[in-house]
Amino acid sequence: MKIETFKVEEWMNSYETKAKYNIAETCVDSVSADELFSLAGKDRQAFFDKLSERRLTYGEIKGAAPLREGISGLYESVSPDDIVTTHGAAGANHLVLYSLTEPEDTVVSVMPTYQQLYSIPRSYGAHVRILKLKKEDRFQPDLDRLRTLVNKKTKMICINNPNNPTGALIPEETLCAIADIARNVGAYLLCDEVYRLLTQEDVPTPSIADIYEKGISTGSVSKVFSLAGLRLGWIATRSKEAMREILLHRDYDTVSCGMIDEALAAAALSAKDALLARNRKIVRENLALLDEWVAKEPRFSYVKPQCGTTALLYCDADMPSEEFCKRLLAETGAFLTPGSCFDEEHCFRIGYACDREELINGLKKLSEFAAKL
């Protein structure tokens, strides 16, 4: 089956290792297992001693019970039975789309977003309609436009909240309105929530799985809990019909997730408050820094993100975004993601949740580079 190039992943794979100042990374500054245990206030030795005694079987097929219990704690009305683990949120999105949409179905997806949401259904012949998120709307979805895009053949609406790359956060009332639109045509509503909880203010970030009976939330420990190396994600939905299809398809491509990954992810979720406190501090302090930088830079502007780890930085330089990023990397070692990866020009995605010194140095290099253009 042919599929379009996953532009952002291809960009990262090709250039990330060459970066001296990586301000393109989207995870909150990753942690080691040692840091995890110290943050969690848990006995690392006791944990690994117990783990290493266990026989390495396939484990619990739907996901280890303590992990699914921990994940359900991130939702209001989702029980451990409504959760299944996956290989990252990438595995979760793929499985949801592949299990629930078919050739000739209509799928509506926001853009810009993580490319899986539109390129996967397009690859097997679903009719994908794009709901463009515009800068002038502060990247909030235009609901009237969405109403014109759905019809009785719409099998799924795909959104991403908080949004990568813009950092926009859809408020609860808009989520409920989108759920009403989906309900009217009987469609599933997939919400990629991999950046959920990384808020700038102490505001609730409701999940689509709590709001809508056919809502499907995907998430992982990669971004919010700084543990991308575990490759551990999940699907949460109260829809029994959706879960049945997902489990049927999952037997063919996942079987189960790694027992060691699941045990570490469960340990992280049992200490979610400590990890979240660390990571909210990073995103809030680093965004304040970025905000000061944008205010002082005459050539750059942005819509200030409300949540997550990324923002789109717009620049008045008359140069294709890919060329800009390649030259920036070669001449300064600073690494950004070009807007072209999201079909947007005159902009770049910055990941600001990295180590603070790296962000300071990366922005300094970006200022020097832009000043020379």
Q: Which residues bind ligand PLP (CB under 6 A)?
A: 26, 88-90, 114, 160, 164, 192, 194, 220, 222, 228, 233
Select 89 or 328, whichever has its Cβ closest to ligand PLP. 89
Torsion of CA 158, 325, 372, 317, to 10 degrees: -40
Select 88 or 339, whichever has its Cβ closest to ligand PLP. 88
Select 15 or 332, whichever has its Cβ closest to ligand PLP. 15
Both tokens of 201, joined, read: 């203010």
Phi and psi angles of residue 365, each rounded to the nearest 5 degrees, phi first = -65, -40
CB of 275 to ligand PLP, least distance (A): 15
CB of 172 to ligand PLP, least distance (A): 20
Chain-centre distance for alpha carbon 112:
12
Q: 192 has which bridge partners?
A: 160, 218
Select 229 or 333, whichever has its Cβ closest to ligand PLP. 229
CB of 95 to ligand PLP, least distance (A): 12
Q: Determine if residue 343 is left, alpha or beta; phi over 0 gives left, psi from -120 to 50 gives alpha, anything else beta.
A: left
Select 159 or 303, whichever has its Cβ closest to ligand PLP. 159
Q: How far apart are CA 139 and CA 267, in angstroms?
A: 35
CB of 189 to ligand PLP, least distance (A): 16
CB of 300 to ligand PLP, least distance (A): 22
Going by C-alpha positions, the residue among 77, 51, 49 that lies closest to residue 66 is 51
Are the beta carbons of 106 and 127 closer than 8 angstroms?
A: yes
Are the beta carbons of 335 and 298 closer than 8 angstroms?
A: no
Select 179 or 265, whichever has its Cβ closest to ligand PLP. 265
CB of 166 to ligand PLP, least distance (A): 11
The CB-nearest residue to ligand PLP is 88
Which residues make Cβ contacts (< 8 Å) with residue 221, sequence separation at least 6? 227, 228, 230, 232, 233, 265, 268, 269
Going by C-alpha positions, the residue among 91, 28, 29, 59 that lies closest to residue 266 is 59
Q: Is 179 exposed, middle or buried (0-12, 13-18, 19+ CB in 10 A)?
A: buried
Which residues make Cβ contacts (< 8 Å) with residue 55, sequence separation at least 6? none
CB of 26 to ligand PLP, least distance (A): 5
Number of helices (H), then strands (E), in the chain: 14, 13
CB of 309 to ligand PLP, least distance (A): 9
Select 30 or 361, whichever has its Cβ closest to ligand PLP. 30
Select 225 or 332, whichever has its Cβ closest to ligand PLP. 225
